[in-house]
């Protein structure tokens, strides 16, 4: 007979073990055929939206793409007035460049709209039982509820709006919001009082005070965010847009200066050629993908069930240098667990094991269940079966009380078994004429000094003197994989600080075992605020998690504050991110997503600027080779004709946008490393690669277009 308790059917938002998440497939490799088919379907599906985005009122938001749009318009006019194969070919591929840029954004938005449709499907037109001042109930539409209204929700009913439980306790199905099928417990008071509109009460009943206005619930905010309607450009994105705009203006002036020189040299260039040169020189690739990269970053957060209140928070997560994590429930399991049973001097292990098992049979606390699990591993099936029948045989279980600080069992034969706080059990033994071995006291002091919790086990036969049988060692167990994750953060250059209300001795022990860089013991809300401000004084960005009202000031002060969805409304309002899964270890994933966003943007910017080099060797010799035959030496690609060289460069400029859409959506793979190593890899892969790829691509395209009647 196996004594290990079966998993409880209801989760209470205990965080997961927090092991390292699987790394995505390397972004530098080509997508699998299935991925290519998915992308092709997405491009086809978003084609009408991309055409609608040709509206100049939309295009002007991206200065680089707007310049291409204006150039396309000019070449269209020229092609209509003086139609040639060359003019129309350049014109069509310039419009394709604008269209592909719009497609990149439309595909990113399309993902969000698909998620939004799923979220909308979870919303139903619900009614609410609103409580009047005289405590009677009235039925109203959920859309009529306002902040402060009190509603009663019964089993099977949908919670009509976001709020806090003020009365009762219930199990709630939140799968529509979090995707987690296991129901969760929501109860008044504490840090599990928040409920989300659109979720369903499964059992019991609760009274909820509404804390949001209609249209401002978490579901509404998630829909707005994933659709891109509420996405604002981040400071980094704005700065990059300014840089791209500046480069574009410089190239516009440079191209404008070429025509007078060409006229003077007797080689006047057509508008089509000048526009083709301009479009190939300006950073069209990153200009076309910049918006898609930002939208995809928000999308990745939503896929992790994290609601970001602003793009600034996502970006800040990528630059975080200090991470504050609560010990209980984040670094450790949150409940003390039995790790070893130590027999008293002169006694065998079997006696303390049997006594620990018997005294904890009726203990339903996590600590008690862990003792049963630990002891059961060393007992035979026959012994466990015999002990499991003691209740039926007339045994009396003694529950733990604050006064006695002990629990245990009185067996039918008169034997009493007790376990509890060391001083309480030792006093019980002494009061009944027994002795406490010095070796047991030594073990107790050793466990306590190491930050653990010692429980003493004793037994007394009927009419006989009690004996101390041994000590149970309880400790706050660090989750598996946490040490490795902190090592990853250290490799990223991020300093980790554990925050706990434990005494310094216990905090130090847990910090060493978990592998964090520092800890703050006996922390108060004021201590947390002071620590955050101290870290920020050095110019560092700070991230932290929290769920209680006492965490709200620190969440508001931190650069990246992640509140648990199970937490209080005050914590969620103070934070700039909300984790719908209420998994505090997810802060580590948020940092990785933020860094991936920044690295993706930087990598594609490097690639975009680097691949312009090949275009210089394609277009500039083609423009003036007739006048200056010596320029043919720059035609290192051996392009067929000046017209085919220009058209090949324009076609490559358009197609590279489509080729990079999967990378901009998936993101460049992030490997924890220092900034120097990341910069070196960025330059080698996307800098050198950005130089080489166009030489190959333009040459291959030229082999095809050289057969056209240009």
| Residues tagged active-site | 326
Contact call for residues 354 and 387 (beta carbons, < 8 A): yes
The DSSP-derived string for 28-91 is TSPPPHHHHHHHHHHHHHTHHHHHHTTSHHHHTTSHHHHHHHHHHHHHHHHHHHS--HHHHHHH
CB atoms within 10 A of CB 479: 20
Distance CA 142, CA 520 (A): 44
Alpha-carbon gap, residue 193 to 208, rounded angstroms? 9
Residue in the structure block whose two tokens are 């006064």: 403
Integer angstrom CA distances of residue 381 from 4, 203, 368:
12, 36, 20
What span, in angstroms and rounded, lies between the C-alpha atoms of 132 and 150?
A: 8
Residue 532 contacts by C-beta under 8 Å, 6 or more apart in sequence?
324, 542, 544, 554, 557, 558
To the question of whether residue 354 is assigned a binding role by annotation, the answer is no
Q: Determine the Cα–Cα distance for residues 190 and 263; give it in Å rounded to an integer.
A: 79
HEC sequence for 265-324: CCCCCCHHHHHHHHHHHCCHHHHHHHHHHHHHHHHHHHHCCEEECCHHHHHHHHCEEEEE
According to DSSP, the residues that pair with 419 across neighbouring strands are 407, 457
Asked whether residue 547 is marked as a ligand-binding residue, the answer is yes
φ/ψ of residue 81, rounded to 5: -70, -45
Q: Which two tokens stand for residue 537?
A: 């004084």
Q: What is the C-alpha to C-alpha distance for residues 174 and 184, in angstroms, rounded to an integer?
A: 7
Task: Please tell me whether 512 is known to bind a ligand.
Answer: no
Instruction: Supply the angle between the helices 218-226 and 85-122 in degrees, to the nearest 10.
Output: 170
**Ordered strands of the 406-410 beta sheet:** 332-343, 467-478, 453-460, 416-421, 406-410, 396-398
Written as six digits, the tokens of 328 are: 């209980």
Helices (H), 304-391: 311-318, 349-360, 366-376, 381-388
Q: How many CA atoms lie within 13 A of 163 on its CB side?
A: 29
- Residue 400 in marked binding region: yes
> Would you say 574 is a known binding-site residue?
no
Residue-level length of the chain: 710
Find, among 313, 281, 291, the residue nearest to 241 by Cα.
291
Q: Are 311 and 298 in contact (CB under 8 A)?
A: yes
DSSP E strands, 432-515: 453-460, 467-478, 495-499
702: exposed, middle or buried (Cβ count in 10 Å: 0-12, 13-18, 19+):
buried
Tell me how far apart the alpha carbons of residues 699 and 87 are, in angstroms, rounded to a whole number: 21
406 is in an annotated binding site: yes
Q: What is the enclosing helix (H) or strand (E) of 333?
A: strand 332-343
Tell me which residue has tokens 């006048």.
Answer: 627
Q: How far apart are CA 163 and CA 616, in angstroms?
A: 61
Distance CA 188, CA 295 (A): 37
Q: In the structure encoding, which two tokens stand for residue 548, read together? A: 């209680």
Contact between residue 183 and residue 172 where contact means Cβ atoms under 8 Å apart: yes
* Annotated binding-site residue? 403: yes
- How far apart are alpha carbons 94 and 71 in whole angstroms? 8
Q: 706 a known binding residue?
A: no
> Any binding-site annotation on 367?
yes
| 405 known member of a binding site | yes
Flag whether 601 is marked binding.
no
Q: Do residues 428 and 418 make contact, with C-beta atoms less than 8 angstroms apart?
A: yes
Binding residues for ATP: 363, 367, 400-407, 419
Query: Which residues contribute to the annotated binding site for Mg(2+)?
Result: 547, 551
Binding residue ranges: 363, 367, 400-407, 419, 547, 551
């Amino acid at each position: 007979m196996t004594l290990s308790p079966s998993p409880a059917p209801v989760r209470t938002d205990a965080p997961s073990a927090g092991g390292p998440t699987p790394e995505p497939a390397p972004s530098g490799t080509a997508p699998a055929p299935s991925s290519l088919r998915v992308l092709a379907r997405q491009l086809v599906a978003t084609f009408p939206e991309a055409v609608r985005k040709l509206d100049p009122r939309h295009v002007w938001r991206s200065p680089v793409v707007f310049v291409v749009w204006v150039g396309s318009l000019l070449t269209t006019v020229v092609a209509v007035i003086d139609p040639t194969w060359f003019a129309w070919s350049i014109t069509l591929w310039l419009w394709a460049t604008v269209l592909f840029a719009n497609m990149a954004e439309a595909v990113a938005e399309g993902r969000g709209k698909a998620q939004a449709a799923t979220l909308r499907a979870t919303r139903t037109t619900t009614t609410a039982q609103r409580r009047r001042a005289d405590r009677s109930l009235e039925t109203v539409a959920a859309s009529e509820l306002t902040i402060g209204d009190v509603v009663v929700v019964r089993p099977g009913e949908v919670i009509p709006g976001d709020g806090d439980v003020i009365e009762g306790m219930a199990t709630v199905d939140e799968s529509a919001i979090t995707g987690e099928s296991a129901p969760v417990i929501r109860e008044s008071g504490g840090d599990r009082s928040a409920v989300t509109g659109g979720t369903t009460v499964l059992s019991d009943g609760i009274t909820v005070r509404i804390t949001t206005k209609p249209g401002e619930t978490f579901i509404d905010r998630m829909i707005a965010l994933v659709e891109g309607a509420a996405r604002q450009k981040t400071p980094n994105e704005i700065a990059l847009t300014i840089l791209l705009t500046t480069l574009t203006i410089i190239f516009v002036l440079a191209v404008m200066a070429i025509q007078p020189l060409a006229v003077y040299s007797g080689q006047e260039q057509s508008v089509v050629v000048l526009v083709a040169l301009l479009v190939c020189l300006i950073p069209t690739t990153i200009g076309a993908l910049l918006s898609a990269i930002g939208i995809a970053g928000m999308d990745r957060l939503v896929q992790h069930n994290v609601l970001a209140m602003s793009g600034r928070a996502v970006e800040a997560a990528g630059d975080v240098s200090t991470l504050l994590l609560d010990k209980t429930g984040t670094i450790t399991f949150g409940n003390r667990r039995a790790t070893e049973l130590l027999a008293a001097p002169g006694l065998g292990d079997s006696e303390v094991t049997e006594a620990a098992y018997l005294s904890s049979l009726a203990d339903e606390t996590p600590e008690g269940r862990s003792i049963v699990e630990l002891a059961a591993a060393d007992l035979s099936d026959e012994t466990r079966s015999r002990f499991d029948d003691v209740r039926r045989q007339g045994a009396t279980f003694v529950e733990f009380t604050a006064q006695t600080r002990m629990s245990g069992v009185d067996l039918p034969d008169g034997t009493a078994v007790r376990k509890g706080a060391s001083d309480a059990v030792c006093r019980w033994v002494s009061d009944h004429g027994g002795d406490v071995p010095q070796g047991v006291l030594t073990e107790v002091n050793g466990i306590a000094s190491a930050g653990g919790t010692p429980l003493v086990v004793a037994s007394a036969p009927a009419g006989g003197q009690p004996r101390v049988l041994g000590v149970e060692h309880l400790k706050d167990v660090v989750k598996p994989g946490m040490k490795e994750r902190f090592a990853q953060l250290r490799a990223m250059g991020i300093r980790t600080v554990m925050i706990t209300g434990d005494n310094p001795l216990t905090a130090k022990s847990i910090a060493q075992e978990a592998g964090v860089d520092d800890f703050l013991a006996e922390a108060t809300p004021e201590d947390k605020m002071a620590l955050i401000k101290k870290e920020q004084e050095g110019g560092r960005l700070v991230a932290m998690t929290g769920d209680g009202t006492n965490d709200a000031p620190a969440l508001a002060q931190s650069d990246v504050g992640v509140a648990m969805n199970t937490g209080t409304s005050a914590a969620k309002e103070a934070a700039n991110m909300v984790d719908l899964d209420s998994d505090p270890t997810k802060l580590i994933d948020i940092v990785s997503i933020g860094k991936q966003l920044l690295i993706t943007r930087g990598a594609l910017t490097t690639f975009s600027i680097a691949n312009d080099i090949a275009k210089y060797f394609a277009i500039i010799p083609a423009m003036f080779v007739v006048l200056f035959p010596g320029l043919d030496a720059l035609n290192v690609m051996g392009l067929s004709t000046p017209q085919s060289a220009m058209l090949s460069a324009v076609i490559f400029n358009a197609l590279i946008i489509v080729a990079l859409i999967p990378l901009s959506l998936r993101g460049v793979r992030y490997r924890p490393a220092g900034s120097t190593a990341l910069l070196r890899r960025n330059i080698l892969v996307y800098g050198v690669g950005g130089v080489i790829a166009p030489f190959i691509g333009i040459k291959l395209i030229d082999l095809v277009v050289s057969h056209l009647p240009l």
